[in-house]
Structure 1
Amino acid sequence: MTQRVVITGGASGIGLTLARRFAERGDRVALCDADAAAVAQVQADHPEMLARQANVTDEAQMQAFFDEVGAALGGVDVLCANAGTGGPAGRIEDLDYDEWQSCIAVSVHGTFLACRWAARLMREQGSGLIIMTTSTSGMYGVPHRSPYVAAKWGIVGMTKTLAMELGPVGVRVNAIAPGAVEGARMERVVQMEAKASGRTEEEMRAVYVKGNSLRTWVTADHLADMALFLASPAAEKISGQVMAVDGHTESMVS
């Protein structure tokens, strides 16, 4: 059955892979992203998708996007509240307050705006699925990454709470917790954490590999596999869960 799928932070990385995979199975996809160039590339490569520039922390921009999505799709079956940012790295006493606020705003406030919109429609429909992107950092403490960790723990809390609020009307809410995901964003994180910790980039990569049972990184397609499963009839009784796709994290510190 064709589903109407909306993805925030959908023009690159995990979000773009989610958009591509949902579209490949025949779903109608709408996405937003703050990166104008990335959105333009999606529009060129995937004219079948509705792709718009919008900053998830700007209520007016997001409402304009949601209004257009509502008119184009007539509703929403799956929301992937995926937008996030790595935030700064450093000891808590050295962090800049504006950078802290920016990290929290994208992950937490942006997820709130997307979930509020979807919840209103899904409650009316009596059905729907919300998938939030958290992180294994939302399950463990990570030195030098307190803003990111706080934001991702916040998303876990939202997942649990919204599952309770919306479950009685037939709406499921889950989160996907990626481990270390191959790609440009993770390379930037490695560079940032290496600088903050005084280690080399190679040493930081080794920490991530050593920290999970499978001794490997994951790919965006592994995360999309989980999202597609959650959006399938096979997962109709799964709600309020944080689905880690991480090779089984044993430790975030080494």
Structure 2
Amino acid sequence: MKVIDSLMPRPGLRVLITAGANGIGLTMAQAFLEVGARVHACDIDTQALAALPEGISHTVADVSREADVDRLFQDAAAMGGLDVVINNAGIAGPTAGIEEIDEDAWTRTIDINLNGQYRVAHRAVPLLRESQGVLINMSSVAGRLGLAYRTPYAASKWAIVGLTKSLASELGTAGVRVNAILPGIVRGPRIERVIADRAAKCGLSYAEMEKEYLSGVSMKRMVEPTDIAAMALFLSAPAGANISGQALSVCANVESL
């Protein structure tokens, strides 16, 4: 195989993406569809699921609910197995000091961001063993840096890196590769809400807070959802065959948050 050919996933991959109807998840779903994959997505947004491009099957599912995840895998079974599973579902969680965060807000963030990834991996790994497939867990640069006023989010994203490295060690002999992608400041509505909430907390304007966010990025720019999708494609391609157990930042070099 030529090196250039190894950069693209093989056609016909069976791909499952959680939270695949909006934002980064949707961009990844579209990217895999474009290279000839069969894609199944879940989301809690029924309208967004109904608007998915033709060729992407879907399930309404909340990864914080065990019964929903069971139903997701029942629906995805129509593909006859799985080659790539992307654990993308997550929420921003509260923006507040630790003394202001109530237990319900903390628990919900951990339950979706971390426990949801466990629930998906728990069901996906037997299928990935059969295909010698790929598990991609979405973390964040907040999984390698501290993030004031976002402690539940950061704690969950650090934990995902630990989950990833542990599963890579556990599953390596089965030929299953496990990696984490750590997006930086990704352009889109989600980061706009995060910046607005942080600005309100710190008594700054949106423009001031956006400038502060980018001040910690050496390239002084946001990344695009397509940058994250490109990394997911690469990790699922032959060129990524010996990449496992890695926490890969796609962030324009975020040095502080």
TM range (shorter): over 0.9
1:157 is matched with 162
Unaligned runs of 5+ in 2: 1-9
Contact map agreement 1:144 1:197 (CA 8 A) in 2: no
Report 1:45-84 matches (<5 A).
46-70=53-77, 72-84=78-90
Unaligned runs of 5+ in 1: none
1:148 deviates by 0.4
The one of 204, 208, 211 equivalent to 2:209 is 204
1:120 match: secondary structure: helix
2:38 is matched with 28
* 1:35 partner amino acid: D
* CA distance in 2: counterparts of 1:106 and 1:196, whole angstroms: 24
1:233 deviates by 0.5
1:8 is matched with 18
Q: Deviations over 1:25-46 (max 9, x none)?
A: 110000000111211221xxx2
* CA distance in 1: counterparts of 2:255 and 2:143, whole angstroms: 14
1:166 is matched with 171
1:143 deviates by 0.6
1:9 match: secondary structure: coil
The one of 27, 31, 37 equivalent to 2:47 is 37
1:102 is matched with 108
Contact map agreement 2:59 2:75 (CA 8 A) in 1: no
- Cα RMSD, aligned residues only: 0.9
* CA distance in 1: counterparts of 2:219 and 2:128, whole angstroms: 37
* CA distance in 2: counterparts of 1:197 and 1:241, whole angstroms: 34
1:118 deviates by 1.2
2:7 is matched with none
Q: Deviations over 1:78-97 (max 9, x none)?
A: 00000000000011001121
Contact map agreement 1:54 1:65 (CA 8 A) in 2: yes
1:198 deviates by 2.0
Report 1:127-206 matches (<5 A).
127-206=132-211
Aligned identity (percent) is 43
2:178 match: secondary structure: strand
> Highest relative contact order (Cα 8 Å, sep 6+), 1 or 2?
2
Q: Deviations over 1:137-189 (max 9, x none)?
A: 01000110001001101111100100011111000000100000000011000
TM-score (normalised: structure 1): 0.95
Q: Deviations over 1:57-104 (max 9, x none)?
A: 11111111101111x111100000000000000110011211111111
2:63 match: secondary structure: coil
Q: Which aligned runs of 4 or more in structure 1 are off by greater than 2 angstroms?
A: none
Aligned residues, how many?
247
* 1:64 partner amino acid: R
* CA distance in 1: counterparts of 2:155 and 2:255, whole angstroms: 20
* 1:83 partner amino acid: A
Q: Deviations over 1:207-241 (max 9, x none)?
A: 22111111100010000011111111011000000
* CA distance in 2: counterparts of 1:247 and 1:187, whole angstroms: 18
* CA distance in 2: counterparts of 1:163 and 1:197, whole angstroms: 39
* 2:90 partner amino acid: G
